[in-house]
Amino acid sequence: MINRTVLVGRLTRDPDLRYTNSGAAVATFTVAVNRQFTNSQGEREADFINCVIWRKAAENFANFTHKGSLIGVDGRIQTRSYENQQNQRVYVTEVVVENFSLLESRSQSEQRQRQENNSGFQSNAPQSSENTNPFDAGQGNTNSSNNQSNSNGPASSASTNPNDPFANNGEQIDISDDDLPF
């Protein structure tokens, strides 16, 4: 049997780090993952997937991520159930994370966090009606990037988004050791 899940998305809130009675760390969080297609209005929808991570990995995850962080997780889907206070059976499906990766540099993360602190999270959402998904902030609006690439002249086709890794139009990209995943 195979039960493997790989997700790439943004955190919808800061991870909730708690400890069990035996002292084991456990963090819960929700990842917003964009769908590959658009709806009838041309907007990209997202799925909000509940995740849980345990022990030292949970502590590290809680220390290095926050609301809006772009992350990748690898794990397995788990279902469980419990009885709530009204004696009703509640079923929960979640991803038990075994590995995670931070998918944006520290400087990008700090820049986005400063913008959120200065003017609120909603201000990072695109202002046009072309793309209303707040989790595309920092990823660029696909509609506007297509418009930029169709404009006249090579200088005007350069992206003005500081988070765009392809902004150099094929020129060599300067990468520091802090940006490498290994």
C-alpha span between 29 and 25 (Å, rounded): 14
Q: Are residues 71 and 139 in the same domain?
A: no
Specify the number of domains making up the chain: 2
Joined tokens for residue 14: 């800061």
Task: Return the percent helix, strand and coil in the chain, to nearest 5.
Answer: 25, 35, 40
Contact 16, 27 (CB under 8 A): yes
145 located within any domain: yes
Tell me the pTM.
0.60
What's the domain range around 140?
Answer: 108-161
Q: For residue range 24-60, what is the model confidence (pLDDT) as tens digits?
A: 999 999 999 999 888 888 888 899 999 999 999 999 9
User: Can you give the pLDDT at residue 170?
Assistant: 59
Single out the residue in 106, 127, 144 at which a domain terminates. 106
- According to the model, what pLDDT value does residue 162 have? 62
Residues 85 and 125 in one domain: no
Mean pLDDT within 139-160: 41
Residues 99, 11: one domain? yes
List the CATH number of the domain containing 83: 2.40.50.140
Sign, Cα dihedral of 170, 36, 132, 104: negative
The pair of three-digit structure tokens given for residue 146, joined into one six-digit string:
């297509």
Closest CA to 98 of 161, 51, 166: 51
- Residue 132, pLDDT > 60, answer no
